[in-house]
C-alpha cells in the first residue's frame, strides 16, 4: 500500500526528484572532474584559447568571411603558435650533458662576477665592499657554490664526455676550462672534492657502480615507461585543439543546454547573470592576454636589441609574457630568467657598442624595468581600462593560495578564478535584488 507516497503532491515529488537527481549529478560531476583531472589543464587551455578567439571570429564574420573558413584559419593559427612556442622552448631545454655544462657555466660566471665585484686577492682580502658585507655574503655564496658544484658521478660523466669527444683537445674547450677553473676555485675555498654532499668517497664510488648496473638493467623498463609517459602526455594534450575547435563551432548550444535546467522563475535572471559574467570575464581575460602578449613582445624586442639573440629573446619573452599573468611575481620571474641567461651568455651581438658581457645583466634589468614601466603606464590603462579590478591584497593572498594548492598552475589561474567568483557573486546579488528574489 502506497498511501503515504500517493498523498504527496506532484510538486513535492518533483521537488524531491530535482534535489536527488541534482545531488547525484553534482556528485558524479565532482567524481568525473577528479578522475579526469589530468585532462583538466589541456581542456582549460583549449577553452581559454577559444574564449579569447571569439571576438576574432566575430570580426572575421563581420568581414563576411565564411564561418568554416574563419574557424579553420583560427584553428591553424592556434596550432602554429602552440607548436612554434613549444618547439622553441623544447630546443632551449638542455639534455643531460647540456645541464652539466649549464651548471659549470653558471658556477664559473658567478665566481667571475663575484671576484670582479669583491676583488679578493691571494690572501683572501678584498675591497671595501668585501670588508663591509663579505662576512654576510660569503656563507650564502659558499652554499650556492656547493649546490652548483658537480658531484663525483657528474664530474666523471662530464670528463668522460670531453675525453670521448675531444680527447687531448678538450683543454682548448671553453667549458672544459671553466670546469677545471671551478675545481681549482672550489678546492681553494676549502671544498673537498672527494666528498659528495658530506658522504665519504669510498661509498660514492661503489654507489656509482651500483647505479650504473641498475641503470643498464632498468634501461628497457625506463625507456618503455618514458615512451608511455610521452605518449600519454601527447594524447592528453590532443584534447586542447579539439576543445578549441568545438567551442568555436558552438553557437550557444552549451549555454542553452545549461539554461534548460533552470526553473522558469529564474530563467531571465540566469540569462542576464550569464551574460554579465561573460562580458566582465571576457574583458578581463582578453585584456590580460593582450597585456601579456604586449609585455612578451616588448621584452623580446628589448632583449634582441641588447644582443641576446633571436632564439633566446623569443624563449625568454614568451616565458616572461606568460608569467606576467601572475601579478607582482610575473615581472620577477622575467627578470630572473633574463638576468640568469645574461650571466652565462657566451656569444652575443648587441646593436649598441656600450653593451658588453660585464654589463649585460644591468642591461637586462633596464629592459625589464622599461617593459614594466610601459606595462603600467601604457598597456594596462589601454587594454584593461574598464575590466574588473581587484584589491592588491586579494591578489597577493590569492596568488599565494594558488601556489600552495596547485603550484605554478595555481598561481597562473588564481586571479582569473577570483575574478570569476567576484563577478558571479556581484552580478548574482544585483540581479536577484532586481528580480525581487531576495
Partner 1 sequence: MTLPLQKQLSALWDNIFDRSRDPSKQDLVNILAQVPLFADLNHRELKRVARITHQRHYAQGEKIFHMGHPGAAMFIIRTGRVNIVIPSESDGLVLATLSAGAFMGELALLDDSPRSASAIAVEDTQAIALFRSDLNKLLETEASLGSKILKSLALIIGQRLKLTNQQLAQAQMSKSA
Q: Which residues bind partner 1 (CB under 8 A)?
A: 58, 61-62, 251-252, 256, 259-260, 264-265, 267-269, 271-272, 275, 431, 434-436
Nearest residue (CB) to partner 1, 68 versus 385: 68
Neighbours of 380 (CB within 10 A): 17
Nearest residue (CB) to partner 1, 270 versus 399: 270
Nearest residue (CB) to partner 1, 69 versus 434: 434
* Cα–Cα distance, 157 to 96 (Å, whole number): 10
Answer for the pair 166, 176: CB distance below 8 angstroms, yes or no.
Answer: yes
Nearest residue (CB) to partner 1, 253 versus 346: 253
Where helices occur in 36-66 by DSSP H, the ranges are 37-62
Task: Please state, in angstroms and as integers, the Cα–Cα distance from residue 274 to each residue in 260, 292, 318, 387, 432, following that order.
Answer: 13, 26, 33, 17, 13
Shortest distance, CB of residue 245 to partner 1, whole angstroms? Answer: 15
Q: Which of 329, 304, 301 is nearest to 396 (CA)?
A: 329
Answer for the pair 361, 340: CB distance below 8 angstroms, yes or no.
Answer: no
Nearest residue (CB) to partner 1, 97 versus 272: 272
DSSP 89-133: HHHHS--HHHHHHHHHHHHHHHHHHHHHHH---TTS---HHHHHH
Q: Which of 37, 71, 52, 42 is nearest to 246 (CA)?
A: 71
Shortest distance, CB of residue 274 to partner 1, whole angstroms? Answer: 9
Nearest residue (CB) to partner 1, 373 versus 434: 434
Nearest residue (CB) to partner 1, 221 versus 260: 260
Shortest distance, CB of residue 66 to partner 1, whole angstroms? Answer: 12
Shortest distance, CB of residue 427 to partner 1, whole angstroms? Answer: 13
Shortest distance, CB of residue 8 to partner 1, whole angstroms? Answer: 17
Nearest residue (CB) to partner 1, 109 versus 283: 283
Neighbours of 179 (CB within 10 A): 24
Shortest distance, CB of residue 283 to partner 1, whole angstroms? Answer: 15
Neighbours of 119 (CB within 10 A): 13
Looking at residue 435, the DSSP 8-state letter turns out to be: T
Shortest distance, CB of residue 67 to partner 1, whole angstroms? Answer: 9
* Cα–Cα distance, 326 to 320 (Å, whole number): 10
DSSP 370-392: HHHHHIIIIIHHHHSTTS----H
Answer for the pair 152, 81: CB distance below 8 angstroms, yes or no.
Answer: no
Asked whether the CA dihedral 141, 147, 153, 154 is positive or negative, the reply is: negative
Looking at residue 353, the DSSP 8-state letter turns out to be: T
Nearest residue (CB) to partner 1, 37 versus 62: 62
Shortest distance, CB of residue 431 to partner 1, whole angstroms? Answer: 8
Residue 438: helix, strand or coil by DSSP?
coil
Shortest distance, CB of residue 291 to partner 1, whole angstroms? Answer: 23
Where helices occur in 261-391 by DSSP H, the ranges are 267-305, 310-323, 329-344, 360-374, 380-383
Shortest distance, CB of residue 5 to partner 1, whole angstroms? Answer: 22
Nearest residue (CB) to partner 1, 47 versus 271: 271
Nearest residue (CB) to partner 1, 73 versus 205: 73
Answer for the pair 360, 334: CB distance below 8 angstroms, yes or no.
Answer: no
Supply the Cα-derived Rg of the chain in whole angstroms. Answer: 29
Shortest distance, CB of residue 388 to partner 1, whole angstroms? Answer: 18
Amino acid at each position: 500500500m502506497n498511501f503515504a507516497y500517493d498523498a504527496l503532491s506532484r510538486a513535492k515529488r518533483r521537488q524531491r526528484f530535482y534535489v536527488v537527481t541534482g545531488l547525484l549529478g553534482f556528485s558524479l560531476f565532482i567524481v568525473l572532474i577528479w578522475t579526469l583531472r589530468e585532462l583538466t589543464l589541456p581542456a582549460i587551455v583549449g577553452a581559454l584559447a577559444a574564449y579569447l578567439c571569439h571576438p576574432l571570429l566575430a570580426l572575421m564574420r563581420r568581414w563576411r568571411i565564411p564561418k568554416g573558413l574563419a574557424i579553420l584559419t583560427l584553428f591553424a593559427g592556434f596550432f602554429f603558435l602552440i607548436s612554434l612556442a613549444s618547439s622553441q622552448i623544447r630546443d632551449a631545454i638542455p639534455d643531460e650533458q647540456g645541464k652539466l655544462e649549464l651548471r659549470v657555466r653558471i658556477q664559473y660566471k658567478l665566481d667571475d662576477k663575484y671576484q670582479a665585484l669583491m676583488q679578493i686577492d691571494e690572501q683572501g682580502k678584498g675591497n671595501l665592499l668585501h670588508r663591509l658585507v663579505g662576512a654576510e655574503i660569503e656563507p650564502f655564496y659558499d652554499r650556492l657554490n656547493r649546490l652548483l658544484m658537480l658531484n663525483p658521478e657528474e664530474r666523471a660523466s662530464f670528463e668522460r664526455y670531453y675525453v670521448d669527444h675531444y680527447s687531448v683537445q678538450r683543454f682548448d674547450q671553453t667549458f672544459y676550462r671553466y670546469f677545471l677553473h671551478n675545481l681549482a676555485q672550489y678546492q681553494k675555498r676549502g671544498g673537498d672534492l672527494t666528498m659528495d654532499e658530506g658522504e665519504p668517497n669510498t661509498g660514492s664510488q661503489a654507489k656509482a657502480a651500483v647505479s650504473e648496473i641498475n641503470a643498464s638493467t632498468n634501461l628497457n623498463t625506463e625507456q618503455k615507461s618514458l615512451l608511455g609517459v610521452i605518449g600519454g602526455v601527447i594524447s592528453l594534450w590532443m584534447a586542447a585543439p579539439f576543445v578549441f575547435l568545438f567551442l568555436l563551432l558552438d553557437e550557444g548550444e552549451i549555454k542553452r543546454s545549461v539554461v534548460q535546467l533552470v526553473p522558469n522563475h529564474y530563467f531571465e535572471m540566469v540569462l542576464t547573470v550569464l551574460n554579465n559574467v561573460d562580458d566582465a570575464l571576457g574583458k578581463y581575460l582578453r585584456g590580460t592576454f593582450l597585456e601579456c602578449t604586449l609585455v612578451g613582445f616588448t621584452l623580446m624586442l628589448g632583449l634582441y636589441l641588447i644582443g641576446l639573440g633571436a632564439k633566446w629573446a623569443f624563449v625568454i619573452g614568451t616565458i616572461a609574457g606568460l608569467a606576467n599573468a601572475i601579478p607582482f611575481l610575473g615581472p620577477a620571474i622575467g627578470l630572473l630568467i633574463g638576468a640568469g641567461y645574461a650571466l652565462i651568455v657566451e656569444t652575443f651581438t648587441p646593436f649598441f657598442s656600450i653593451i658588453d658581457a660585464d654589463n649585460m645583466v644591468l642591461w637586462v634589468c633596464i629592459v625589464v624595468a622599461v617593459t614594466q614601466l610601459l606595462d603600467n603606464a601604457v598597456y594596462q590603462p589601454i587594454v584593461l581600462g574598464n575590466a574588473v579590478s581587484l584589491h592588491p591584497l586579494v591578489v597577493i593572498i590569492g596568488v599565494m593560495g594558488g601556489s600552495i594548492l596547485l603550484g605554478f598552475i595555481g598561481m597562473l589561474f588564481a586571479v582569473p578564478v577570483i575574478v570569476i567568483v567576484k563577478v558571479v557573486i556581484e552580478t548574482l546579488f544585483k540581479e536577484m535584488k532586481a528580480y525581487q528574489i531576495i
